[in-house]
A and B are shown apart, each in its own frame.
Chain A
Amino acid sequence: DQQVKQNSPSLSVQEGRISILNCDYTNSMFDYFLWYKKYPAEGPTFLISISSIKDKNEDGRFTVFLNKSAKHLSLHIVPSQPGDSAVYFCAASDLPGGKLIFGQGTELSVKP
């Protein structure tokens, strides 16, 4: 039973354009949401997070949007750069400091 789902295994975007990565969840108790980026042969690295009291959090080129009623979050990268090419995982937790449940990942390819 996949509580966090990323339905797009891959996404290809042109350099300079917007990348939108989507994530859906089923557990209404989730209150904390994070995005991680993973390069090949490396561990995932933290990118950005949001708590359920907000609907948007921005950090430079990265913005995460949360729609609690739809149980949906998205990561926007503007403008996309070739160095952003990686696998992106969304994750959710129901407690501060609690276990993170990850989605399957979306592989982003940004073409020059």
Chain B
Amino acid sequence: DARVTQTPRHKVTEMGQEVTMRCQPILGHNTVFWYRQTMMQGLELLAYFRNRAPLDDSGMPKDRFSAEMPDATLATLKIQPSEPRDSAVYFCASGLLSSGNTIYFGEGSWLTVV
């Protein structure tokens, strides 16, 4: 059963600490997205990659957020230093360019910064 796997599922951290979220896309998918869900903005695109290369990270606060794909089976989203306003659910999604626009989401990483 192919699915996107995200870790950790839940994270509570103190303000100023570094947070790293990891994502394993569906095997064979060449496009990976990071979204953040907030009450006000809905699902907000932070960054996305194709064939491990970043295509767009304009939605990401550059001073504290960074996204990478060290290899085809791992995407990471790092926040350093974390702030209370970063508290949200972070979703990773993956898709295959040749299959159109449908993307498949992981279950999300629930982040609380206190």
Contact = CB atoms under 8 A, between A and B. Distances in A.
Interface of A: 6, 32, 34, 36, 41-46, 49, 89, 91, 93, 96-105
Contacts of B106: 43
A102 B42 contact: yes
Nearest to B30: A97
B93 to A, nearest CB: 8
Given A89-B43, A103-B42, A44 B91 contact: yes
Interface string B13-49: 0000000000000000001010100001111110010
Contacts, number: 65
The DSSP consensus for interface residues of chain A is loop
Contacts of A6: 42
Contacts of A97: 31, 50, 95-101
A35 to B, nearest CB: 11
Contact of B91 (A34, A43, A98, A101): A43
A105 B42 contact: yes
Contacts of B35: 102
Interface string B76-87: 000000000000
30 contacts: A6-B42, A32-B101, A34-B101, A36-B105, A41-B108, A42-B108, A43-B4, A43-B91, A43-B105, A43-B107, A45-B105, A46-B102, A49-B100, A91-B43, A97-B97, A97-B98, A97-B99, A97-B101, A98-B101, A99-B45, A99-B56, A100-B45, A102-B35, A102-B42, A102-B43, A102-B45, A104-B40, A104-B41, A104-B42, A105-B42
Contacts of B72: none
